[in-house]
């Protein structure tokens, strides 16, 4: 039987719940479907296809528990996470946005649920490069996690966080520094930092202002459908006409309500466009 066919029933959940408790953690705050995806992913890597067997390993090996927990951690993020999505956005969407702007117009972007800032800075790097000096770029980035926002504001990252980035991105956007313990770190250049304003706030209760683009990636997965719909309605109100919304690779637009608000123009990359009553969505996109 494949892992996809295995059911994470209440008995298995109870078993995992006890393991989590033994490490001082609580499994119940995670959505069961999300939990199953993470468990299956780890089990696939370890070639295990039995929840009970994996629970025993977790109980025995703290290190494996830490691996699993890290994959559940709500602050997990990366620079240019899912690089292909950024690449598609840069090559197919940004030119469309720029065409509709007047010289010196400001492009406004919201990184909603930005964690420790990597997404917001990636957007700042991508947009400042793509728009040259012709347009102003403003990124607003928020998160409910105060520590994550403080970290983001510093813009200082361990070398391992950027080592997979292409050389030209590192060269053009980071400054290498050695800290007091002689450990190499990379600081985002001030010119990039200046484009981003970080805020501690909740997506659902922060102000409604108008953006050209919203990136909200790997946030919705933690929420039940009703909350996801409220967030989508908020994003719809916060986007300019025909503005773009980008979700995470594990996320899709759920339900009929959302289907009325956004149209998937690049479903594979989870790139959506705001529906507008008197304007058809952007049907000309290459990978429709």
Where along the sequence are the contacts to ligand SAM (CB under 6 A)? 74-78, 81, 113-115, 119, 142-145, 148, 202-204, 217-219, 248
Residue closer to ligand SAM (CB basis): 76 or 159? 76
As measured in angstroms, the least distance from the Cβ of 263 to ligand SAM is 22
Interatomic CA distance for residues 176 and 70, integer angstroms? 27
Sign of CA dihedral 254, 259, 265, 271: negative
As measured in angstroms, the least distance from the Cβ of 207 to ligand SAM is 13
Number of neighbouring beta carbons within 10 Å of residue 166: 10
Residue closer to ligand SAM (CB basis): 78 or 282? 78
Residue closer to ligand SAM (CB basis): 36 or 135? 36
As measured in angstroms, the least distance from the Cβ of 5 to ligand SAM is 27
Q: Give the helix ranges, DSSP H, for 46-141.
A: 51-60, 62-72, 83-88, 94-99, 118-131
Residue closer to ligand SAM (CB basis): 77 or 128? 77
Q: Which residue has the tokens 């299956």?
A: 40
What six digits make up the tokens of 182? 């002689």
As measured in angstroms, the least distance from the Cβ of 174 to ligand SAM is 18
Interatomic CA distance for residues 144 and 114, integer angstroms? 9
As measured in angstroms, the least distance from the Cβ of 246 to ligand SAM is 10
106: burial class by Cβ within 10 Å (0-12, 13-18, 19+)? Answer: exposed
Residue closer to ligand SAM (CB basis): 94 or 114? 114
Residue closer to ligand SAM (CB basis): 192 or 247? 247
Helix (H) or strand (E) holding 19, with range, is helix 10-22
Torsion of CA 259, 260, 264, 269, to 10 degrees: -60
As measured in angstroms, the least distance from the Cβ of 154 to ligand SAM is 16
Residue 107 is classified by DSSP as: E
């Amino acid at each position: 039987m494949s892992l996809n066919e295995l059911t994470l029933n209440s008995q298995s959940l109870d078993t995992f719940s006890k393991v989590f408790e033994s490490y001082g953690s609580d499994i119940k705050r995670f959505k069961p479907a999300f939990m199953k995806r993470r468990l299956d992913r780890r089990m696939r890597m370890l070639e295990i296809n039995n929840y009970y067997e994996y629970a025993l390993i977790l109980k025995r090996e703290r290190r494996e528990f830490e691996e699993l927990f890290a994959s559940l951690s709500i602050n997990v993020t990366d620079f240019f996470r899912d690089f292909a999505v950024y690449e598609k956005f840069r090559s197919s969407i940004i030119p469309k946005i720029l065409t509709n702007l007047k010289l010196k117009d400001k492009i406004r972007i919201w990184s909603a649920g930005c964690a420790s800032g990597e997404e917001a800075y990636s957007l700042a790097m991508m947009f400042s490069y793509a728009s040259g000096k012709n347009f102003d770029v403003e990124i607003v980035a928020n998160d409910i996690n105060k520590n994550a926002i403080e970290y983001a504001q510093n813009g200082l990252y361990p070398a391992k966080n950027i080592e997979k980035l292409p050389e030209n991105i590192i060269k053009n956007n980071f400054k290498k520094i050695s800290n007091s313990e002689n450990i190499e770190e990379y600081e985002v250049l001030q010119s990039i930092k200046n484009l981003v304003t970080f805020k501690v706030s909740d997506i659902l209760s922060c102000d409604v202002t108008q953006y050209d683009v919203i990136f909200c990636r790997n946030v919705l997965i933690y929420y039940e459908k009703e909350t996801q719909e409220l967030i989508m309605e908020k994003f719809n109100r916060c986007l300019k006409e025909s503005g773009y919304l980008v979700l995470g690779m594990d996320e899709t637009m759920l339900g009929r309500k959302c289907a009325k608000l956004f149209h998937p123009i690049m479903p594979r990359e989870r790139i959506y466009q705001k529906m507008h009553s008197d304007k058809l969505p952007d049907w000309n996109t290459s990978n429709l």
